[in-house]
Amino acid sequence: MLKVKETIDAQFNIICFGFLPWSHMWKRNQSMMAEMSQWDFIHQLIFVNPTISVRTLLKRENNPSNGFLWATPPKNLTRISPIISVYTPITFLPCKQVLPALGRIENQITLKMIRHANKGKRYILFMNCPNIASPEILEELLEHASLSFFDISDDFLELGYDANTRELFRRNMTKYAKAADIVLTVNEHVKNKYAYLNHNMHVIRNGTNYDNFDRPTYKAVEILEGIKQNGKPIVGYIGIANMGRIDADLFDFLLERRPGWQFVFVGPVHPNFIERYAKHKNVYTIGPVHYQELPCYIQYFDVAFVPFSNNENTKGNDLLKLHDFLAMGKPVVSTDIGGAKDLKEVIQVASTPFEFVEAIEKALHSDNDEDAVRRKGVALKNSWHNRIKEMEKMVREELDNNKR
């Protein structure tokens, strides 16, 4: 998905602080950066992962499964492509709460590494990091940035964290959204909710890496071949399965009313979900898979479903999975969460458990090739390649204005 381009005459670098590390599970921030790195005025992109401690790093190396979210072992600087470098700050000094000077030393090491990677180039600062623990780094980079963004890629304050983490997110989001030249939000609900933070706020909806999903052929997946042999419908989901988002009453209803359906969950699974549904022989939890392998799993879904609760958390969503399902032409049934109704021409949005069952039944019995082609057309329109064209126009205008 990463392309090669000529960068000799490019004028700017991008320095991006990510909420999640550059990983095998492509999310909004990573997809945006991959597309933005292709702009003709961008020379290099430096992606800064969240800080990781030496202790955590050792645990990850002792148990490789803990490192699935990382694309490569965290090193000082990893070259992902000719254009993109990924830097992982590693915290190693103890007692920083007692001796703040130690924290300042680590911050200076991080800044030195970023400056080394930037090589004195003018840069655009992109902040998707309410979780940053060392704001002094951003303050210095903000001071010299040619243009700065803060991306509210989710309703950060509604995520299922403890009170201390939410307060950290609130403090950082407030500070850096106010300081940024431009704030991006994932949907209109989030934009309206946080409009007080910055007058220059824009919605950039999520999209799909279309070519990753719409393929001529897909590899077989052994576990799903076995499930398919049962001869019963496969209703599938991708992403994190946890009871903070999954509507337990709805899913319980589906299991009770349609015990013949096979429900497949591909992605990280929280213990609370496993504990609740392990007894059901028609619920399969497969775990996380590489992003480029994900379409090979989705191909087995007769219907894709998103059985989420409708709450303040999910109102702040614009789910990548909806666009990914559509890119493969799959029929989709979802609850009325953020972004779903905007796709109502190509997905079924159900308001009640009864409607949800009926919508899946309809998709199982009346889906056709014409509908699949229509879904793919919508997904192509909403691809990241097209989404980022809005961003490019915005960035060019802002940089031109800054020259005057």
What is the side-by-side order of every strand in the sheet holding 348-350?
283-287, 262-266, 234-238, 303-306, 332-335, 348-350
Backbone φ/ψ region at 231: left (φ over 0), alpha (ψ -120 to 50), beta: left
Predicted confidence band of residue 3 (pLDDT cuts 50, 70, 90): low
Q: Residue type at 138?
A: L
Number of other CB atoms surrounding residue 313 within 10 Å: 19
pLDDT at 94: 57
The yes-or-no verdict on residue 116 having pLDDT over 50 is yes
Give the Cα separation of 248 and 234 in Å (integer): 19
Do residues 198 and 347 make contact, with C-beta atoms less than 8 angstroms apart?
Answer: no
SS3 category, 59: helix
pLDDT at 7: 47
Distance of CA 42 to the CA centre of its chain: 23
pLDDT at 343: 92
Reading the block at residue 246, the tokens are 């999954």
Reading the block at residue 150, the tokens are 């803060």
The 10s digit of each residue's pLDDT in 150-178 is 999 999 988 867 889 999 999 999 999 99
Give mean pLDDT, residues 121-127.
97
Predicted confidence band of residue 375 (pLDDT cuts 50, 70, 90): very high
The yes-or-no verdict on residue 60 having pLDDT over 80 is no
In angstroms, what CA-CA distances link 230 with 225, 227, 262?
9, 6, 9
Give mean pLDDT, residues 72-82.
74
What sign results for the dihedral spanned by CA atoms 15, 37, 131, 153?
positive
Predicted confidence band of residue 105 (pLDDT cuts 50, 70, 90): confident
Give the Cα separation of 292 and 296 in Å (integer): 8
For the whole prediction, is pTM greater than 0.75?
yes
- Percent helix, strand, coil in the chain, to 5, is 45, 20, 40
The yes-or-no verdict on residue 303 having pLDDT over 70 is yes
- Render 27-76 in DSSP notation, one character per residue: -HHHHHHHHHTTSTTEEEEEEEPPPEEHHHHHHHHHSGGGGTT-SS---S
- In the chain the domains, ranked by start, together with CATH numbers, are 12-207+384-403 (3.40.50.2000), 211-381 (3.40.50.2000)
What is the average pLDDT value for the chain, to the nearest integer? 89
pLDDT at 65: 45
Q: Which residues of 91-113 are buried (b: 16+ CB within 10 A; e: fewer)?
A: beeeebeeeeebbeebbebbbeb
Give mean pLDDT, residues 200-214.
96
The yes-or-no verdict on residue 346 having pLDDT over 60 is yes
| Residue-level length of the chain | 404
The yes-or-no verdict on residue 187 having pLDDT over 80 is yes
Q: Of 57-66, 107-116, 256-265, 389-398, which range is least confident? A: 57-66
In the chain, % of residues over pLDDT 70: 88
Predicted confidence band of residue 69 (pLDDT cuts 50, 70, 90): low
